[in-house]
Amino acid sequence: MTDNTEHQAKDAVNEAGQDIAEETAAEAPETEEMSAEEAEMEIAEQAAKSGFSSPAAFLAAEIERVEQEKSDLNDQFLRAHAEMENLRRRTQKDVADAREYSIAGFAREMLQVADNLRRAIDAVPEEAREGGDAGLKTLLEGVEMTERSMMQGLEKHGVKRISPLNERFDPNFHQAMFEVPNTDVPNNTVLNVVQEGFVIGNRCLRPAMVGVSKGGPKQAAAKADEAAETNGQEE
pTM above 0.85, yes or no: no
How far, in Å, CA of 48 to CA of 46, rounded? 5
pLDDT value for 231: 53
pLDDT the model gives residue 220: 58
Q: Where are the domains of the chain?
A: 37-100, 104-157, 161-234
pLDDT of residue 76: 92
Q: How far apart are CA 93 and CA 109, in angstroms?
A: 25
Q: Which helix (H) or strand (E) holds 197?
A: strand 197-200
Predicted confidence pLDDT, tens digits, the chain (235 residues): 455 555 555 565 556 556 555 554 555 444 455 676 676 777 777 777 777 767 777 778 888 888 899 999 999 999 999 999 999 999 988 888 787 788 888 899 999 999 999 888 888 888 877 776 788 888 888 999 999 999 999 998 889 999 999 999 999 999 999 999 988 899 999 999 999 999 998 899 999 999 999 988 886 544 545 555 555 555 4
In terms of DSSP H, where are the helices of 102-206? Answer: 104-122, 126-129, 134-156
Residue 165 CA, chain-centre distance (Å), reads 32
- pLDDT for 31 equals 44
Report how far residue 230's alpha carbon sits from residue 235's, in angstroms, rounded to the nearest whole number: 9
Residue 131 pairs in a beta bridge with none
The dotted CATH code for 161-234 is 2.30.22.10
